[in-house]
Structure 1
């Protein structure tokens, strides 16, 4: 009988924890770093510990998140340590875009960056050579690398854009810290569970909380990569020279035009050759239909 009140209290704490978790999860998008105590995880941590003997007080739990995450993030903003994503595009005309592509790869790798995508289009009779690359350049080396890339040829344009995501990363950091605290306390409650019902309830809440934590950590890692490595789309074009094999004078152009005309007529004749059997079949069917109609009309007149 003495164990029943303790088990009931533990179960009530877990149920309160799950209820607060559902409420907090629905408000994740609107959560604020300046008030992490209102988040789902902080509220859960303080509620469920009230049913455990010797657990930290509610004020201690809220204080650990506020001072450890939000306050720390505020100090970072005050000192100018902001999270900024740099993106941009460059267009350069080079004598040999394919060679310039390899030079751009070398410049990027020497700066500590990487190539996320690379497309090369060699010169043909109908198009000039060109290339497109997506460069990931360390943010600290962006200016120097862009300067080096400009030396590949004639710069058509350079466009750089900055996106400040400091508030977003601060919010994620605060929620991740609070979720880690909540997971640790759920593990403690699991060790103290005395009934199967309590254990099942705690495990369900713990699984959901761990999934939320992994999702937030994945988002944070993605943003960190975007901040650490700027994304530049580089387009390389060849100079306005005549493509190899193209007509160079009037008479050559006439010859090329005549050859194109003959080729077009030949293609048309080939198409007609493919269509003739179908045309013949349709003609035979049409003739049969006409004969049937005429015969039916004659029978009608005779009657």
Structure 2
């Protein structure tokens, strides 16, 4: 038992050295664009933003080596190369605004185009704006093979007010994730072989810890690869459907004049009714206020006259008293 442990310890050390060398080889193969251990997600479920913009690689346009100006092959995890544009990984997105009088029909048509091509409606909304005009925003996902045909059908729905289409090349990012995933799976297989040969509990636990880390990274990179595949396989199209402004006619006839006059008269009567409704409470309050003010003034005048009368009577009494004494 002791001899087996002594033999397995060097074997584990050699395996760990081989794993480290394989990881270093993976990093150098990808041109230094790989992630450090601090940049990688530690477990499945954590988001990996990764390099959003694929770095440029030498030889992208090398007319001397190939004789023509073209795209240089990108090596894959299996050693093959994406030697033409058709093999590149491109995420397609488009935005198009359509103005149409057939609003409901156009919205239904966009939904139908998504489902009939094997895609789906990602989101949809509708609102009202200037002069009760309707507007709808629909985001659909369609297979990349049906991308151009779907755009062509959408353009037929009405007047195209704006139209844009972009493609994001994620070939290098895709190959990088794919390559790392392959190396991690190879590392996982080697660790499983080592675990099968381990007889000591300490050795088994050490290999299990390393195997758990590797399997966590495999799940994270596989999730990232699944997201890329979904974005590549299904293109995104955002459609804005709007109604045109109502057409104002300036042709005026007797019938139109009479109609306008009736509408104006009805509007005036309605305005007067509304104004009367507002004025009635105001008039009542004003009348009550004036009545109260009138009563106050009358009362003040009455008191003033009364006081004056008393003064006059008092003066007359004073005059009469001296005459009586004589």
TM range, normalised to the smaller chain? Answer: 0.5 to 0.7
Flag the structure with larger Rg.
Answer: 2
Aligned to 1:206: 211
Aligned to 1:237: 242
Q: Distance in 1 between matches of 2:266 and 2:229?
A: 57
Aligned to 1:62: none
Q: Distance in 2 between matches of 1:256 and 1:102?
A: 44
Aligned to 1:292: none
Aligned to 2:169: 164
Aligned length: 226
Assess if the C-alpha contact under 8 Å between 1:14 and 1:198 holds in 2.
Answer: no
2:217 matched to 1:217?
A: no
* Closer/same/farther in 2, CA of residues 253 and 34 from structure 1, 3 Å limit: farther
1:99-248 matches, within 5 Å, as 99-121=105-127, 123=128, 127-241=132-246
* Closer/same/farther in 2, CA of residues 97 and 166 from structure 1, 3 Å limit: same
Runs of 4+, deviation exceeding 4 Å: 13-18, 123-126, 252-259
2:30 matched to 1:33?
A: yes
Assess if the C-alpha contact under 8 Å between 2:121 and 2:139 holds in 1.
Answer: yes
- Give the TM-score normalised by the residue count of structure 2: 0.59
**Helix, strand or coil: the match of 1:129?**
strand
- Give the TM-score normalised by the residue count of structure 1: 0.63
* Superposed displacement of residue 216, structure 1: 0.6
Assess if the C-alpha contact under 8 Å between 2:129 and 2:135 holds in 1.
Answer: no
Aligned to 2:8: 7
**Helix, strand or coil: the match of 2:132?**
coil
CA displacement 1:78-106 (0-9 Å, x = unmatched):
57411111111010011132331111111
Q: Select the residue among 75, 99, 102 that pairs with 1:96.
A: 102
* Superposed displacement of residue 174, structure 1: 0.9
More helix by share: 1
Gaps of 5+ in 1: 41-66, 243-247, 266-303
